[in-house]
């Protein structure tokens, strides 16, 4: 299992070398590419959240390949990494093939109210399934994306699940201020759902490099709230 520091180094390399990088159309193949990296830092009553993330997109006339990934440290949760790739055939852009891989990156200790503790070791997963790109089914003002995907169990620790994810564009609400909302909820046939949501304010004077807001995490009945910042340095 790749450790969290290795993941952070990898993300830092992406941030330095490709953040906000875009290539013009290739005259021979019509290829476009873009990438970005950012860091979320939130603090709440239960502790702090450290959440480096990255994304990339490569498109040809007929095929679009995307990637998104993160390493996350959150209160009362194991350190976790997840990497998502999608492949979309442009003439049928409402459907994609989605793959996810990741897992717990180090030992996680659960303490019992009666005393003692249980240590859960690092473990990985791999899943592939269909994705419906709901935002491609019509024109929705202010909606950046919304997807619904079913991921059957293939290998590792994660069981069958369905994920609904979405986000808005940055919506101007007053002069110099825009807001955005994003998040996802993962539904499991057995056990608790898992969800994360971001509510962010983006001052235009930061040129898109900084946002402030609230991060909400729900793992079954357990809930965590944090206030903090999103940094997009490049």
| Whether residue 28 has pLDDT greater than 60 | no
Domain count, the chain: 1
112 in Cβ contact with 119 (< 8 Å): no
Query: What is the tens place of the pLDDT at every residue in 179-189?
Result: 999 999 999 99
Q: Sorting pLDDT into bands at 50, 70 and 90, what band is 234?
A: low
State the CB neighbour count (10 A cutoff) for residue 60.
Answer: 13
Q: Sorting pLDDT into bands at 50, 70 and 90, what band is 9?
A: very low
* pTM of the complete model beyond 0.75: yes
Query: What is the tens place of the pLDDT at every residue in 85-130?
Result: 999 999 999 999 999 999 999 988 887 777 778 888 999 999 999 9
For 192, residues 6+ apart whose C-beta sits below 8 A from its C-beta are 219, 220, 221
Query: What is the tens place of the pLDDT at every residue in 207-228?
Result: 889 999 999 999 998 999 999 9
pLDDT top residue among 10 and 96 = 96
Residues spanned by the domain of 198: 4-231
CATH code of 88's domain:
2.40.160
């Amino acid at each position: 299992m790749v450790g969290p520091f290795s993941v952070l180094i990898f993300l830092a390399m992406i941030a330095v070398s490709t953040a906000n990088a875009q290539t013009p159309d290739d005259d021979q193949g019509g290829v476009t590419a873009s990438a970005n990296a950012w860091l979320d830092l939130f603090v709440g009553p239960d502790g702090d959240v450290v959440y480096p993330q990255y994304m990339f997109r490569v498109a040809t006339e007929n095929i679009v390949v995307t990637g998104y990934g993160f390493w996350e440290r959150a209160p009362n949760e194991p350190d976790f990494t997840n990497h998502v790739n999608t492949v979309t055939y442009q003439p049928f852009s409402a459907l994609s093939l989605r793959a996810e891989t990741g897992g717990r990156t180090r030992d996680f200790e659960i303490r019992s109210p009666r005393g003692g503790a249980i240590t859960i070791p690092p473990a990985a997963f791999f899943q592939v399934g269909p994705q419906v790109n709901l935002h491609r089914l019509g024109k929705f003002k202010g909606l950046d994306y919304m997807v619904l995907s079913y991921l059957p169990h293939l290998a590792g620790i994660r069981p069958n699940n369905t994920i609904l994810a979405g986000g808005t564009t940055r919506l101007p609400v007053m002069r110099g201020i825009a807001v955005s909302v994003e998040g996802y909820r993962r539904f499991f046939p057995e056990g608790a759902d898992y969800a994360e949501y971001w509510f962010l304010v983006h001052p235009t004077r930061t040129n898109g490099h900084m946002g402030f807001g609230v991060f909400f995490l729900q793992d079954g009945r357990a809930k965590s709230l944090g206030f903090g910042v999103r940094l997009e340095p490049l």
